[in-house]
Amino acid sequence: ALDGDGMEFLDWVRGQAFHRDVLVVAIGERSQLRTVVEACDCGAHTFLIKPIHVEDLKMLAGRYPDHWTRARE
């Protein structure tokens, strides 16, 4: 079981066969920007900065359309 931080989780996810098919989004505050970018280096596909708005989610869906269509299959 994972008892560590988000980076430990990202390391675990990156090692899983499903990583390629799952959109991993790091979420953080503007003051944590360096950590959020590090999360992308550790396996997150992209990131969002809090507070997250509906427009942010729409933009995310538009940038990664294949992830949403595969989920319906």
The rounded distance, in Å, linking the Cα atoms of 27 and 50 is 7
Q: How crowded is the C-beta side of 56, counted as CA atoms within 13 Å?
A: 10
pLDDT at 55: 97
Model-level pTM? 0.77
pLDDT at 4: 63
Structure tokens at 55: 């427009």
pLDDT in tens, 10-62: 888 888 988 878 899 999 898 988 888 899 888 899 999 999 999 999 999 99
Q: How far is CA 60 from the centre of its chain?
A: 10
